[in-house]
Structures are given as structure tokens and as C-alpha cells.
């Protein structure tokens, strides 16, 4: 716990610099393009549109999905899931390699090494909010009316943010120590969409019960399903699912403790490994 508190203090102190670096990263991404920030809108829109054409239109009448009614409901359901997963996937990949690629530069700024993964997560927020805005438009267009349940969107957003940082502490440190780890990690993330309930509802009646229960332990499923239960049909309050909450936050706490411990233990040797 001592390591966790030390890292939290470093993050609070480094937050202004983290925001500036994230803004700089976003500005540099499309700086050489004539249309500039337009691609922050066009690229996510293209990804979402293609996925909807591939899966939602084809499977819109699939009665095995208990969460979506008809094509309109399926489009909103799948769009929200894809937006959430695309953000988490990109943030997890970039933050895992952040220390390995940036430690040489940021160490000269007397910048907290524990804040390096956070810069990548914050950098991805601009794209996420653009994509989320598109998903909200789809949801409202599908005649889903806002409700008081929408307030708990902030709970799931905070839960997602904390989870991503806790995981990044572990993966960014291991990537420095064992470079081959990143390749295996990236491979797992490429198939993550299929085991996180983004495309296929893992609680469908046609899904094997044992496999369904195993996949529900996935923290990504907890977050994706939480957003869907908040914004779409049959909303429920997050505290009503006690078991899922305990499992998710238990995983987050374990990741924080493990990540803080190995990060603090090896941070003085990062330059040697890199």
C-alpha cells in the first residue's frame, strides 16, 4: 500500500504535465495532414460504420441477443460496445509499451515514470469522446430515451480509467523487463473483442453456461456491459450486481498492488533494461 500511495502522489503532481503531453501527442498525430483533426472524426466513424455493416446489419434479427430488439436496438448495442473496446484496446496497447519507448526522453524532464503510461491513456481520450459522441447519436436516433440511470455512466468511466491505469502499471513494467511479453499481450488483445461480449452476447441462452460464466470474469466485459446496462434497454444500478462488482474491483486492487510493487522495485533500473 505504501507504493500505491507514493504513485498516487506522483500522479497528482504530474497531472498538468500529463495533460500537456497528451495534447501534444494528439496535435502531432495528424499535423502533416491537410485535414488535421478531421481524421479524429473520420477514422473512428469509418471503423464503427464498417463493423456495423459487417455484424449489426447481418445479425440485427438475431433473437439470441437478449439485450437488443430488432436491427435498431442491435446497432446501438454493438456501436456502444465497439466504442468502449476500441478505446480500451488502444490505451492498453500503447500504455504497455510507453515506458520502453519514452523513458529516455521523459527521464530528462524529471517526470514521474509512473505517469508515463497515464499519458498514453489520456492521449486516447480525445478519440474516445469523438467515438462516444457518435454512439450517443446512434442511441438517441434509435429512440432510446435518457433516464436517471445515465448518471452512473460516470461510475463506469472512472472504473474503466482506474482499471486501465492499474493494468498499464503491470504491463509497461513487464514489457521493459521482458520485451517478448508485448508481442503476446498484443496478440491477446486482437482477439479480445470476441471474448469480451462486444460482438457476441456471452449471456445468450444459446451460449454454454460454463463458458459464459468464465467470460464474465473478464474486466473488459464488466465495463462494456456496464455501459450498455446504463444507456440502453433494461438499465440497472451498478450496486445491484454485488458479485460482479467484487470480482472487478478485486482484480483492479490486485493489479494496483502488483503493478505498484514491481514498478517501484525496478524503476531505478529501467534505463539499463532499455
In total, how many domains does the chain have? 1
Residue 169 and residue 256 in contact, taking contact as beta carbons nearer than 8 Å = yes
Q: How confident is the model at residue 247 (pLDDT cuts 50, 70, 90)?
A: very high
CA 30 to chain centre: 22
The pLDDT assigned to 107 comes to 63
Quick: pLDDT tens for 115-128. Answer: 899 999 999 898 88
Q: Per residue in 68-84, pLDDT tens?
A: 666 667 777 888 888 89
Cα 216 from Cα 28, distance rounded (Å) = 38
Instruction: State the residue range of the domain holding 217.
Output: 2-273
Q: How far, in Å, are 99, 112, 120, 138, 274 from residue 105 at the CA level?
A: 10, 12, 15, 41, 12
The separation between CA 189 and the C-alpha centre of its own chain, rounded to angstroms, equals: 11
What does the pLDDT look like over 86-141, one tens digit per residue?
899 999 999 999 888 877 766 666 778 888 999 999 998 988 888 888 788 777 77
pTM, two decimals, is 0.89
**Tens digit of pLDDT for each residue in 149-173?**
889 999 999 999 999 999 999 999 9
Q: What is the mean pLDDT of the chain?
A: 82
Amino acid at each position: 500500500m505504501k507504493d500505491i500511495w507514493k504513485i498516487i502522489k506522483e500522479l497528482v503532481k504530474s497531472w498538468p504535465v500529463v495533460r500537456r503531453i497528451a495534447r501534444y501527442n494528439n496535435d502531432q498525430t495528424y499535423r502533416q495532414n491537410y485535414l488535421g483533426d478531421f481524421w479524429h472524426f473520420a477514422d473512428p466513424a469509418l471503423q464503427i460504420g464498417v463493423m456495423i455493416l459487417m455484424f449489426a446489419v447481418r445479425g440485427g434479427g438475431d433473437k439470441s441477443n437478449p439485450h437488443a430488439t430488432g436491427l435498431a436496438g442491435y446497432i446501438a448495442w454493438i456501436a456502444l460496445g465497439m466504442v468502449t473496446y476500441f478505446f480500451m484496446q488502444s490505451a492498453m496497447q500503447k500504455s504497455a509499451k510507453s515506458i520502453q519507448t519514452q523513458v529516455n526522453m521523459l527521464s530528462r524532464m524529471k517526470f514521474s515514470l509512473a505517469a508515463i503510461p497515464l499519458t498514453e491513456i489520456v492521449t486516447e481520450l480525445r478519440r474516445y469522446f469523438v467515438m462516444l459522441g457518435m454512439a450517443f447519436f446512434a442511441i438517441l436516433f434509435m429512440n432510446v430515451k435518457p433516464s436517471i440511470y445515465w448518471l452512473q455512466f460516470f461510475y463506469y468511466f472512472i472504473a474503466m480509467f482506474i482499471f486501465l491505469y492499474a493494468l498499464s502499471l503491470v504491463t509497461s513494467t513487464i514489457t521493459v523487463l521482458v520485451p517478448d511479453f508485448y508481442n503476446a499481450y498484443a496478440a491477446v488483445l486482437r482477439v479480445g473483442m470476441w471474448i469480451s461480449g462486444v460482438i457476441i452476447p456471452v449471456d445468450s441462452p444459446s451460449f454454454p453456461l460454463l463458458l459464459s460464466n468464465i467470460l464474465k470474469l473478464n474486466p473488459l466485459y464488466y465495463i462494456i456491459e456496464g455501459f450498455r446496462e446504463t444507456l440502453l434497454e433494461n438499465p440497472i444500478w451498478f450496486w445491484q450486481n454485488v458479485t460482479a462488482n467484487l470480482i472487478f474491483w478485486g482484480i483492479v486492487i490486485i493489479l494496483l498492488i502488483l503493478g505498484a510493487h514491481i514498478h517501484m522495485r525496478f524503476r531505478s533500473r529501467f534505463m539499463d533494461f532499455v
